[in-house]
């Protein structure tokens, strides 16, 4: 692994770190064909999808979570 940018994460504000995490996640998502999901992870995801379908109005949207962190 190489570092193209030398970043001291601790010097970033909380919102800057959140943006950095989003950018990192987006870069991972661009290469999602390379990701391997295990059978146990699939079971967890299936259970979460079933729980969501059973009660779609429960929980908090990502937008609400981001707004609460600001």
> Residue 32 falls within a domain, yes or no?
yes
> Residue 4 falls within a domain, yes or no?
no
> Residue 60 falls within a domain, yes or no?
yes
Give the per-residue pLDDT at 3: 54
Q: What pLDDT, in 10s, does the model give residues 15-45?
A: 999 999 999 999 888 887 888 899 999 999 9
> Residue 7 falls within a domain, yes or no?
no
Tell me, yes or no, if the pTM score tops 0.85: no
> Residue 49 falls within a domain, yes or no?
yes
> Residue 1 falls within a domain, yes or no?
no
> Residue 31 falls within a domain, yes or no?
yes
Q: What pLDDT, in 10s, does the model give residues 45-68?
A: 999 999 999 999 898 888 999 999
> Containing domain of residue 59, as a range?
12-69
- Produce one character per residue of 53-65: b if its CB has 16 or more CB atoms within 10 Å, e if not: eeeeeeeeeeeee
Number of domains in the chain: 1
């Amino acid at each position: 692994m190489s570092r193209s940018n030398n970043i001291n994460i601790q010097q970033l504000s909380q919102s800057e770190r959140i943006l950095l995490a989003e950018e990192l996640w987006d870069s991972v998502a661009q290469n999602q064909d390379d990701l391997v999901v295990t059978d146990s992870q699939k079971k967890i995801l299936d259970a979460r999808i079933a729980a969501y379908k059973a009660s779609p109005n429960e929980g908090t949207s990502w937008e609400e979570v981001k707004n609460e962190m600001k």
